[in-house]
Amino acid sequence: MVTIHASYQGDLCCTAVHGPSEASLQTDAPKDNQGLGRFFSPTDLVATALGTCILTTMGIVARRHGIALEGATVRVEKHMNDSPRRIGRLPVELSVPGTFADDHKKILERAAHGCPVHKSLHPDIDAPITITWAG
For β-strands 73-76 and 92-97, DSSP reports them as antiparallel
pLDDT at residue 57 greater than cutoff 80: yes
Predicted confidence at residue 134, as pLDDT, reads 86
**Which residues share a beta bridge with 40?**
27
The tens digit of pLDDT for each residue in 17-37 reads: 999 999 999 999 999 999 999
Single-letter residue type at 15: T
Could you count the other beta carbons within 10 Å of the beta carbon of residue 27? 21
pTM: 0.94
- Residue 123: how many CA atoms within 13 Å on its side-chain side? 0
Single-letter residue type at 78: K
The tens digit of pLDDT for each residue in 80-93 reads: 999 899 999 999 99
The tens digit of pLDDT for each residue in 61-115 reads: 999 999 999 999 999 999 999 989 999 999 999 999 999 999 999 999 999 999 9
Nearest to 77 by CA among 53, 109, 44, 54: 44
Whole-angstrom CA distances from 36 to 28, 40, 41, 52 are 7, 10, 10, 25
**Which residues share a beta bridge with 129?**
92
Mean per-residue pLDDT, 110-123: 97
- Residue 31: how many CA atoms within 13 Å on its side-chain side? 2
Whole-angstrom CA distances from 48 to 8, 9, 65, 105, 129 are 21, 22, 26, 23, 14
What is the CATH superfamily name and number for domain 42-134? K homology (KH) domain (3.30.300.20)
